């Protein structure tokens, strides 16, 4: 199958529909994206067919089979094969050969990840990343969500307190005082990402900030001291 010269929409291919891959494919479809789902198990593909018309059973993930399934038309490929390292590496290589612009591969070990990176894939470690995220939330009852961007920079969603009730973003002045940037405020269940200096926060709001871990902790201590 030859690659189309022009497409109006991006195509996301997900290869390997275990718990991780299936969740990725289903969520992309739920968000209105075009999804190409591939797995060796027919039962899983039958389930995937409920949210995408492009669901295929492939026993062998050769270049030829992937091409026939339409991988050459994909803009992004997510490879959810983690436990079978040889299949993961070979599939990543075959997808690369088909010229997919962006390839994201799941890895279960650093050694596997290093090989995948050498092939040119973006590597993710779902279990490790979720563990770090959970640990960050458990470390404090006031942290509602946590994303680690590096060893020193995080995004955290914090619950606010009466101490800041009615203050504006300008009055909070977290950038100057704590070196943080506010990226979102959740009020009555609604997430606001259009933050202005005049935006007011309330004690039951939550606030998402990005910055150094130690600076976020200082701000958290101020809120709840």
Domains of the chain are 11-124 (3.40.50.720), 129-224 (3.30.70.1450)
pLDDT-based confidence at 8, cuts 50/70/90? low
Q: What is this structure's pTM?
A: 0.64
| Average pLDDT value for the chain | 88
Position 103 pLDDT exceeds 60: yes
3-state SS of the chain is CCCCCCCCCCEEEEECCCHHHHHHHHHHHHCCCEEEEEECCHHHHHHHCCCCCEEEECCCCCHHHHHHHCHHHCCEEEECCCCCHHHHHHHHHHHHHCCCCEEEEECCCHHHHHHHHHHCCEEECHHHHHHHHHHHHHCCCCEEEEEECCCCEEEEEEECCHHHCCCEHHHHCHHHHHCCEEEEEEECCEEECCCCCCCECCCCCEEEEEEEHHHHHHHHHHHHC
Read off the pLDDT of each residue in 51-68 and give the average, rounded to a whole number. Answer: 95
Position 65 pLDDT exceeds 80: yes
Read off the pLDDT of each residue in 78-103 and give the average, rounded to a whole number. Answer: 92
pLDDT at 178: 95
Angle, vertex CA 170, rays to CA 133 and CA 209, nearest 5: 5
Closest CA to 59 of 15, 113, 14: 15
pLDDT at 132: 63
Residue 183 in tokens = 């990226």
Position 1 pLDDT exceeds 70: no
> Rounded distance, CA 32 to CA 23, Å?
14
Residue 213 in tokens = 């871990």
pLDDT-based confidence at 7, cuts 50/70/90? low
pLDDT in tens, 166-205: 999 999 999 999 999 999 999 998 889 999 999 999 998 9
pLDDT in tens, 122-151: 998 887 666 666 666 656 656 667 676 766
Position 155 pLDDT exceeds 80: yes
């Amino acid at each position: 199958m030859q690659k189309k010269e022009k497409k109006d929409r991006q195509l996301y291919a997900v290869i390997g529909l275990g718990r991780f891959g299936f969740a990725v494919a289903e969520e992309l479809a739920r968000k209105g994206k075009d999804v190409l789902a591939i797995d060796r198990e027919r039962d899983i593909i039958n389930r995937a067919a409920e949210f995408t018309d492009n669901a295929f059973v492939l026993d062998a993930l050769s270049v030829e089979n992937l091409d026939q399934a339409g991988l050459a038309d994909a803009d992004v490929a997510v490879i959810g094969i983690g436990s079978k390292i040889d299949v993961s590496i070979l599939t990543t290589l075959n997808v690369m050969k088909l010229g997919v612009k962006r390839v994201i591969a799941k890895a279960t070990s650093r050694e596997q990840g290093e090989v995948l990176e050498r092939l040119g894939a973006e590597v993710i470690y779902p279990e490790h990343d979720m563990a770090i995220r959970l640990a960050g939330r458990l470390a404090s009852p006031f942290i509602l969500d946590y994303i680690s961007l590096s060893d020193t920079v995080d995004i955290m969603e914090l619950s606010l307190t009466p101490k800041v009730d009615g203050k504006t973003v300008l009055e909070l002045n977290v950038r100057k005082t704590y070196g943080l940037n506010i990226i979102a405020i959740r009020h009555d269940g609604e997430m606001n990402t259009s933050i202005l200096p005049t935006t007011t926060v309330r004690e039951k709001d939550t606030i998402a900030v990005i910055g150094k871990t130690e600076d976020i902790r200082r701000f958290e201590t101020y809120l709840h001291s």
